[in-house]
Amino acid sequence: MFNIFKSKPKAARPIFAPLISDMHCHLLPRVDDGSKSEEESVTCLRVMKAAGFESVFFTPHYTIPRFPNEEQDILNRFSDLKLDIAAHGGYDGPQLLGIAGEYRVDPGFNDRIQQQKFLLVGGKYLLMEFSLHQQVMGLDQVLFDLQMKNYDIILAHPERYPYYSSSSHVLQHFKDMGVFFQINILSLSGFYGEGPRRKAFEMIENGWVEFLGTDMHNTLYAQALIDATHDRKIEKVIEKHTFMNRLLTHPEEANEKKF
Ligand SMILES: [Fe+2]
């Protein structure tokens, strides 16, 4: 196992134990801009375990044209990875609880809704993201169509969309429509800059945030997660607020029946 650290690493503290599960990361190797190898995934997973996570849901990107992933292929790759890890023995990371997706609202999204083509977090939640650069138009209709099909929607990292940074009314509107919010843990440590950091704390204090996720992509994020476990302000957030991560359960049957 390679070492991501140049010198002796600072140990992670298990401050995220109350969350139990991480529900947003990109550790299925070579399917998106996340982990590039099984080895890198296991290294990141060990850091997550040391940070307190008992279980994890993988959520690869589904984005046309950049990551045109297909659900059946993703399910197969996830099974292969689990077999691979078990075959090597000695795995001491979090349980690989499920495979879902982070679905970008892109030109193919309407077809997805019609075909109900989604892998859900915990067999229940649709994790959705927008472009970070350009505001999506017609979102009300998209949300309405999803809700008509009874999806529970989680919006990934609302603190990171720059075009909403001064549009709290839009975020309020999403909350009014029953959309759950998931904040990136690394937003709280300033990994994405001061704007997202401030917004993330503000949204949590507003009571707008139901889920936290690592959005872990690679070992750079793993190092940042270790640092985050030494941040007293983040620790206080975890102590003070209750998040829905802990309610997530094994989704395999619900997902596999569909594909
Ligand atoms: Fe992500």
Share of the chain above pLDDT 90, in %: 88
Residues whose CB falls within 8 Å of the CB of residue 128, separated by 6 or more in sequence, listed in order: 102, 103, 104, 105, 153, 154, 155, 156
Determine the distance separating the centroid of ligand 1 and the alpha carbon of 242, expressed in angstroms: 22
The whole-number pLDDT of residue 168 equals 85
Query: Per-residue pLDDT for 43 more than 90?
Result: yes
The pTM (predicted TM-score) of the whole model is 0.93
- Write down the mean pLDDT value for the chain: 93
CA 200 to CA 214: how far, in whole Å? 13
The whole-number pLDDT of residue 166 equals 85
The whole-number pLDDT of residue 254 equals 59
pLDDT, one tens digit per residue, over 233-249 is 999 999 999 999 999 98
For residue 127, give the nearest of 26, 15, 237 by alpha carbon: 26
CATH architecture of the domain formed by 19-256: Alpha-Beta Barrel (3.20)
Helix (H, G, I), strand (E, B) or coil at 102: strand
The whole-number pLDDT of residue 7 equals 58
pLDDT, one tens digit per residue, over 135-191 is 999 999 999 999 999 999 999 999 999 999 888 899 999 999 999 999 999 999 999
Determine the distance separating the centroid of ligand 1 and the alpha carbon of 157, expressed in angstroms: 8
Going by their DSSP bridges, the two strands 211-213 and 21-22 should be labelled as unpaired
Q: What mean pLDDT is predicted for residues 93-105?
A: 96
Q: Are 178 and 147 contacting, i.e. CB atoms less than 8 angstroms apart? A: yes
How does residue 72 score in pLDDT terms, banded at 50, 70 and 90? very high
Which has more confidence, 60 or 5? Answer: 60
For residue 238, give the nearest of 206, 199, 201, 208 by alpha carbon: 201
Determine the distance separating the centroid of ligand 1 and the alpha carbon of 129, expressed in angstroms: 8
Helix (H, G, I), strand (E, B) or coil at 113: helix
Q: What mean pLDDT is predicted for residues 80-98?
A: 94
Question: How is the beta sheet containing 95-99 ordered, strand by strand?
Answer: 21-22, 55-58, 95-99
- For the chain, the domains span 19-256
CA 227 to CA 221: how far, in whole Å? 10
For residue 48, give the nearest of 185, 208, 233, 191 by alpha carbon: 185
Determine the distance separating the centroid of ligand 1 and the alpha carbon of 174, expressed in angstroms: 19
Q: Are 57 and 252 contacting, i.e. CB atoms less than 8 angstroms apart? A: no
Share of the chain above pLDDT 70, in %: 93
Determine the distance separating the centroid of ligand 1 and the alpha carbon of 26, expressed in angstroms: 6
Query: Per-residue pLDDT for 255 more than 80?
Result: no
Going by their DSSP bridges, the two strands 55-58 and 95-99 should be labelled as parallel
Determine the distance separating the centroid of ligand 1 and the alpha carbon of 215, expressed in angstroms: 5
Determine the distance separating the centroid of ligand 1 and the alpha carbon of 121, expressed in angstroms: 13
The whole-number pLDDT of residue 5 equals 58
The whole-number pLDDT of residue 2 equals 52
Determine the distance separating the centroid of ligand 1 and the alpha carbon of 56, expressed in angstroms: 14
How does residue 250 score in pLDDT terms, banded at 50, 70 and 90? confident
